[in-house]
Structures are given as C-alpha cells and as structure tokens.
Chains A and B, each alone.
Chain A
Amino acid sequence: MEVIATRPKSLTKLPFTYCPGCQHGVAHRLIAESIDELGMQNNMTGVAPVGCSVFAYKFFDFDMAEAAHGRAPAVATGMKRARPEMHVFTYQGDGDLAAIGTAEIVHAANRGEKISVFFVNNAIYGMTGGQMAPTTLPGMKTSTSPYGRNVDDIGYPIRMCELLATLVAPYYIERVSLLSPQEIIKAKKAVLKALTYNKEGKGFTFIEFVSTCPTNWGVDPVKSRDWARENMLPFFKAGVYRDKGEGVE
C-alpha cells in the first residue's frame, strides 16, 4: 500500500487534546509539516503560550519552552539571542498575544527579532471557558460580554497584522484562515514561507490564523466555519500585509 500521508516527524506520537472541530491541530500540523520539509527539526525550538495550546510543548517533537501568559516573544528573544544557530518560533492565542502580551509582541516585532510568530485568532478565550478576547467581534456574546461586546464600553477588536504592519522592522506579515481545505492549503504556503525566511535569518515573521472555537462559541464545527467566514473575515481580512522578500512593504 502506498503511504500518501503520515504523521510529520516534528510532531510527537501524543494525541492532541483539543476539542472536536478545533483548529489548533491543523495549525500544529501545518507548522510541523513545514519544519520537516525544510529540514529544520534538529535546530528547531518553539515557545508555547498560556491558553488552549499550553501543551504545545508536548506535541512538537523538538526542544520547547513553556512561557508565562503573553511573554512568549520575550522568551523567544532570549532563546534566539542565546543560540542564534537555532530557529525559534512562538505559538500564541489571541488573549495571550493581543491582550496580556501586547507589549512583548509589539517590541519583539519592532526589534525585528529573527523569529516566527504563529498567532491563532478565534475571537475568544478558550481554555478558561469562553471569555471575551481582544479580538472578540462587536456584539459577540461571551461569558464576560454576556450582552454582546459593547464597543462604547470596551472598544473594538484589535487587528494585529495591521497594527504590526505600521512598524518598519517586520519582514513578513500575513493573515490566513483555516476555514476550508483550500484556505488550509493557502495557509500552509504562508507557514512554509515564514519558516523559510526564519531559516534564512531574514527577520521577524508573523502568521495569523483566523480560526474557530466551536466549543466556546456554542456552534457545531461546520457551522462555526460559516460563522467565521461571515463575521470574522470581513473584519480580519486575509492577505499579505508585509513581505520584504517579495517587495511588499
């Protein structure tokens, strides 16, 4: 029998502990496949966040550090500066990266740290049980915005790609979505590009994955993709916000 797909070497044998319909597993796989394809595994290291993907250090099969909430870009900075021969990435959710860790991500990007950041945006705090995130959409109900996100009271969602694209240093910034096989194939290309730039030491690379959280949205996995397409993508527009390698400034 011909093997046409197998578990990437860069993932351990541990089964993912994510909810049914969650897209962390897809994002993990895209990163692991790309690392394998680029032959980076032996020199690879990552930083896991606090949030649903807190156990990412158990799922990736290379050295990993677990960071305090929001601090992954600072930890990655220390690791990369200590061992420039290693390829470093962070994997972060929206609460981690765009709320408690806003300073760390902005300044790591502004320094042009030669790391990759993989940012999973599903507009909600998953692990703590569905609280409002910095990327929760206007009017969207969560356990801490039970009447819907009131923008007069708490402001609008933060668009991280657009925010980071105001900085001069970042080398590559792209927002992709994980809502269909076609979009996942496109996302893979972005991940591969970010890690290629990482391997070449080009500079700071940032990929945002627009994804879903069926469990905490209270929507089944298939409908959650439709919901994200109708509600998230108009606000969080997919696209290349910076690509110095392709002349997109």
Chain B
Amino acid sequence: MAKILMKGNEAVAEAAIRAGCRLYFAYPITPQSELIEYMAKMMPKVGGTFIQAESEVAAINMVYGAGGAGKRVMTSSSSPGISLKQEGISYIAGAQIPAVIINVQRGGPGLGDIQPGQADYFQAVKGGGHGDYHLIVLAPSSVQEFADMAADAFDLADKYRNPVLILGDGMLGQMMEPVEFKHAKTDEEIAKLGLQHKDWCIFPKKDENDRHHHEINSLELDPSVLEKHVLNIYSKYAEIEKKEIRYEQYNVSPDNEVLCVSFGTASRIVKSAIDDLKAKGKSVGLIRPITLWPYPYEQIAQAIGPRVKKVYVLELNMGQMIDDVKVAVCGKVPVEFYGRVGGIVFTPAEVEQKLEESF
C-alpha cells in the first residue's frame, strides 16, 4: 500500500479503525481535535459508533461499558481531559477491561497551553487514578509509529485485559508525515475478535442454563478477597514486564561517552544532535523507551558502556522519566537532565550544546 501524507491525529484514528475499533467515545479538546473529527466522519462509514460525549468523564465510562461488553473501544483526549478520565481509568484497570486511550499531550499544569509537552509522564506511568494499577504505556516518536501502535495497543489490551495508553503529544498529533497502513480487519475478523478470549464479558446467553452471570466490577468489600484480586492483577503485570518491554537503541556502542535516554518527540531531536556530534567525532548513544510501562530498566543499565561518563535524560517536562532512569542506572554514573516546558520544544542545536558540555 502506498504511503499517505497524514497528521498523526488522523493516522492513529484510521489505524484504530483498521485494527477493529468500532466504538469511539470522546470529548473535543485541542490539540487532538482532528482525531475526534476523523472518527465522527469515518465511524458511520464502517458501521461503527461515534458519540461526542457530554464530558470526558462520561466518555471514559462509555468505554467501560463497551469494553465490558467485549468490544474494541477507544477514547482520546489531551492532558486536562485525560486528568478528568482518571476515575474511569482506575475502574477500568480494576475491572480488568481492555480499552485504548490516547493522550495527545499539551503544556500544563492546569489549562496550560495547546503546544506539545511530555509533562503527563508521571500521570501515565505512575498511575493518575487511585489504587494499585498500571496502564501499559506506549510512546510513539513518529506518525508511522503512532499509527502502528494503535493495532499493537488493541492486541495488548485484549491479551492482558488491561487498559493501554498511547502517550503522544501535540507535535505528533499535528505533524504530517508519510504513513503506510496495515491490513484493515474485515467485519468477519472483527466479529471473531469480539468473543475471542473474552468469555468474561457481557453478552447474550443462549438459554437460561447457558452459563453463570458475569459481573464487570471492581468492588470487593472483603479485604482478603480484594488483596487476592490485586495480587492477581500484579501477577499479570509481572508477565507484562517480562514479555512486553519495547525500546530502541540508537548509536549505542562501547565508544559512547554519553548515553542519552529520551522518549517520543524529544527523542527525535536528540537523534539529530547525536548525528551532529558523531560528525564531530563525539560518541553519544540513545536508549528510547517505547514502552514507558513496563520500563526498560535493565536495558538501560546494560547500555552503559565502559567509557560512559554521564547519562543524560532529555524530556519536554521538568524531569519526570529521570526518576526511572536513576533507578536503572543505580548510581553507577551521574544522571543529568535537560528539558524545556510551556510547550517549547528544544532544538537539536540546544541539545547538542548541552551534550557537548559533557565531553
């Protein structure tokens, strides 16, 4: 299939539909408006459901209902809207409902602005809602990857009965890049998805003796039963940590004198700076976590070569992922941070200058 020039917001929406998403509930917010508009236009054409909900709170609870009924369902928003969804996200994680949530991050805190940012890392990775739970968090760095992650996110959500968050940003949402789409699932393939591995969900019974009734629920008043439930969820998380860590290495070699860790949009700028420094004979490597949870702690530790003097963390926030990098590095070398906020995206020259100071 030929490549198409598309905005990230539209590409991820198209990819979600191709992955079998036929239910989408959301509320308008900048800079993800093209996503909700694309769904409004396309869902009726594929026999799907689009509802512009009365609020982010309602949208995420519609996701709870549709996901509980065993269907592929998605919502999307930007930072302030994702904050509003946190109640529902906690319930979805507690009731173990598969769902896909997209955050096209903007500047914060509060209303902030509508420019790109990465300041929702803590919220996404450390749990923005109440209780012990994790989202699987995917961080794309190009429009192509944003689109590819849609199918991946639905598969992971179904496989583990867990909500998956794609943590994009206003840059990825608004930027146009060539994108090549994967196979669009046929109606027959989607029908099969419905009940495959979903014998827990809400669906019609054949007759009254068909099966015991199902409960989509996160409530359990008996502490010993609730503890068992949380431990069960965490054994699932242990499996996810074992099997689903994704990351990219860029220019990682034994010659590295600096190792960078950066994700999403920020990592692309870091790559440009690394290329420029390479031309000057200075060796800098990059680890780009693609899954922010589960996090590639060991992979970062292993990438610290014999000559590395410093690990540099570069984010579009005031230093959030750096906490996880410090856990990975475990005091072996100093960990430094550079970031810009307020919707300001650092330039390759700016990053290059910072990294060069380390030599």
A interface list, Cβ under 8 A from B: 9, 12, 41-43, 45, 47, 54, 57-58, 60-68, 71, 74-83, 85-86, 103-104, 106-107, 111
- Contact call A83/B53, Cβ cutoff below 8 A: no
Indicate whether B298 reaches chain A with its CB closer than 8 angstroms. no
- Contact call A79/B208, Cβ cutoff below 8 A: no
- Contact call B68/A65, Cβ cutoff below 8 A: yes
- Contact call A66/B58, Cβ cutoff below 8 A: no
- Contact call A62/B213, Cβ cutoff below 8 A: yes
Closest to A55 in B: B219
Indicate whether B301 reaches chain A with its CB closer than 8 angstroms. no
Residues of B within 8 A of A63 (CB): 202-203, 213-216
A-B interface pairs (CB < 8 A), number: 136
Indicate whether B204 reaches chain A with its CB closer than 8 angstroms. yes
Q: A63-B202, A71-B58, A71-B88 are in contact. Are A82 and B66 (CB under 8 A)?
A: yes
- Contact call B65/A42, Cβ cutoff below 8 A: no
A32 to B71, CA, bound (A): 27
Q: A65-B215, A78-B67, A78-B73 are in contact. Are A85 and B61 (CB under 8 A)?
A: no
A79 to B214, CA, bound (A): 14
B interface list, Cβ under 8 A from A: 23, 25, 49, 51, 53-55, 57-59, 61-71, 73, 87-88, 91, 95, 202-208, 210, 213-219
- Contact call B65/A104, Cβ cutoff below 8 A: no
Q: A83-B69, A103-B54, A103-B55 are in contact. Are A78 and B217 (CB under 8 A)?
A: no
Sorted from nearest, which 4 A-B pairs have the closest CB atoms? Answer: A78-B65, A74-B61, A78-B62, A78-B66
- Contact call A81/B49, Cβ cutoff below 8 A: yes
Q: A57-B215, A63-B202 are in contact. Are A42 and B58 (CB under 8 A)?
A: no
Which of B61, B87, B206 neighbours the largest number of chain A CB atoms within 10 Å of its CB?
B61
A60 to B215, CA, bound (A): 10
Q: A57-B217, A64-B215, A65-B64 are in contact. Are A103 and B58 (CB under 8 A)?
A: yes
A218 to B67, CA, bound (A): 42
- Contact call A78/B202, Cβ cutoff below 8 A: no
Closest to A79 in B: B65
Question: Contacts A78-B64, A82-B23, A103-B57 given; 17 further ones with Cβ under 8 A?
Answer: A45-B69, A47-B65, A63-B216, A64-B215, A67-B61, A74-B53, A74-B65, A75-B62, A75-B65, A78-B63, A78-B65, A79-B66, A81-B65, A81-B66, A82-B49, A103-B55, A111-B51
Q: A42-B207, A61-B213, A66-B218 are in contact. Are A82 and B58 (CB under 8 A)?
A: no
A203 to chain B, nearest CB (A): 16
Partner of A45, one of B73, B95, B202: B202
Residues of B within 8 A of A9 (CB): 208
A154 to B148, CA, bound (A): 52
A47 to B51, CA, bound (A): 19
- Contact call A67/B64, Cβ cutoff below 8 A: yes
